[in-house]
């Protein structure tokens, strides 16, 4: 997803449809109105994803006001296969890319039938060797979120993907994939179709934990395209990430933060999503190139904005130019003020009135 001037913006609907396909379609409409590039959902089988004994995360308890366990919560948020197909068709009709994140192998296999632009690896699955293997084998470009991850976790995921893309059987050990990656890197091989998203898995993320500057470390360490999966409630942080080089932005959104569910409170509302994407496009437009040079219209401004050498008061022919009779002022004609000291001590070749541009002196 190498940056070509336009940041890829994924509007993350996630599970904010609350299991209702009508709400899911409204979320698609919001993403289209905001001019996102893709709208993304989440695909999972709660019974395959989580044991019934697994508690909710702290933020999920806080956001839902109930600790009835992850299984009970997620079971209410599943979308049927038929619903997925209907949403895919609706996205196609609305001319927005359909995406969904698979959290288990069966869900990934199901999603593979859809023409999605990317396969997304969520933060929690960055060390899930089973899911990484099957995701890499699909043959689509990958997006990996790095919430909660150390550099070692990220290196593992990238190494596993690099191995999986070139081998027909799974690796027997972590050492095998790291050795393969070392060989590939020494040969100059790059993961050109993998984008790594910086992410903080706190919902919502306080601004002081956004840590956007770490994107530079990720890009330099892994020689890879980077983006930002943003869980702050700010509409500004994605633009800041774009200014720092993000090629992809992913942001949760909802119809209303007043709705019940685990992710609504950390999501943008429709107008905020529109504002965020508009800010991103303005940021892209304003970034320009990495070379300093005057813009075309600046040359016209330059003519009247820069000062030139002028007579401070009347100067007679043959008089010496001094600091007492020579100054600078804005003028559309004349010698640039950068030449001021070259004129001091020279002889006026003609008469000048006050504030008249001084154009030449007598040769000594």
362 pLDDT above the threshold of 90: no
Q: How far is residue 257's CA from residue 36's CA, in Å, rounded to a whole number? A: 20
Ordered structural domains, the chain, with CATH? 8-287 (3.20.20.70), 298-362 (3.90.1210.10)
- Residue position matching structure tokens 């979120």: 145
pLDDT tens digits, residue range 92-110? Answer: 999 999 999 999 999 999 9
d(CA 256, CA 16): 9
This prediction's pTM:
0.89
Are the C-beta atoms of 159 and 140 separated by less than 8 Å?
no
Q: For strand 347-348 and strand 361-362, is the pairing parallel, antiparallel, or unpaired?
A: antiparallel
Summarised one tens digit per residue, pLDDT across range 289-331 is 889 999 999 999 999 999 999 999 999 999 999 999 999 999 9
Any idea which residue has 């019940």 for tokens? 260
Residue 2 has pLDDT above 80, yes or no: no
87 and 79 Cβ atoms separated by less than 8 Å:
yes
- What share of the chain has pLDDT > 70, as a percent? 99
Structure tokens at 360: 């030449």
Euclidean distance between CA atoms 8 and 1, whole angstroms: 8
Rounded CA separation 87/27 (Å): 10
Section 170-181 average pLDDT = 94
């Amino acid at each position: 997803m190498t940056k070509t001037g336009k940041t890829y913006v994924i509007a993350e609907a996630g599970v904010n449809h609350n299991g209702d396909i009508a709400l899911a379609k409204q979320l698609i409409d919001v993403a289209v109105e905001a001019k996102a590039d893709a709208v993304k959902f989440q695909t999972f089988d709660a019974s395959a994803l989580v044991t019934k004994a697994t508690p909710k995360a702290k933020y999920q308890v806080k956001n839902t006001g109930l600790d009835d366990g992850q299984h009970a919560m997620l079971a209410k948020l599943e979308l049927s296969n038929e619903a997925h197909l209907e949403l895919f068709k609706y996205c196609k009709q609305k001319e927005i890319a359909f995406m969904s994140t698979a959290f288990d192998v069966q869900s990934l296999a199901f999603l593979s039938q859809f023409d999605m632009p990317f396969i997304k690896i969520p933060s929690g699955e960055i060390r899930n060797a089973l899911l990484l293997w099957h995701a890499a084998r699909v043959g689509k470009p990958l997006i990996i979120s790095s919430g909660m991850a150390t550099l070692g976790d990220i290196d593992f995921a990238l190494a596993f993907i690099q191995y999986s893309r070139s081998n027909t059987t799974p690796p027997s050990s972590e050492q095998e994939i790291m050795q393969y990656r070392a060989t590939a890197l020494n040969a100059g091989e790059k993961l050109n179709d993998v984008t790594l998203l910086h992410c903080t898995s706190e919902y919502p993320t306080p601004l002081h934990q956004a840590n956007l500057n770490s994107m530079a470390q990720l890009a330099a360490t892994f020689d890879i395209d980077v983006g930002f999966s943003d869980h702050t409630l700010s509409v500004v942080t994605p633009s800041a990430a774009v200014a720092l080089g993000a090629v992809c932005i992913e942001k949760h959104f909802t119809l209303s933060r007043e709705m019940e569910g685990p992710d609504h409170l950390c999501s943008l509302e429709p107008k905020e999503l529109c504002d965020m994407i508009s800010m991103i496009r303005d940021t892209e437009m304003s970034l320009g190139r990495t070379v300093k040079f005057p813009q075309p219209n600046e040359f016209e401004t330059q003519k009247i904005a820069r000062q030139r050498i002028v007579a401070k008061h009347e100067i007679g022919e043959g008089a010496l130019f001094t600091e007492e009779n020579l100054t600078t002022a804005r003028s559309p004609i004349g010698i640039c003020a950068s030449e001021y000291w070259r004129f001091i001590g020279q002889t006026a070749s003609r008469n000048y009135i006050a504030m008249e541009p001084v154009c030449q002196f007598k040769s000594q």
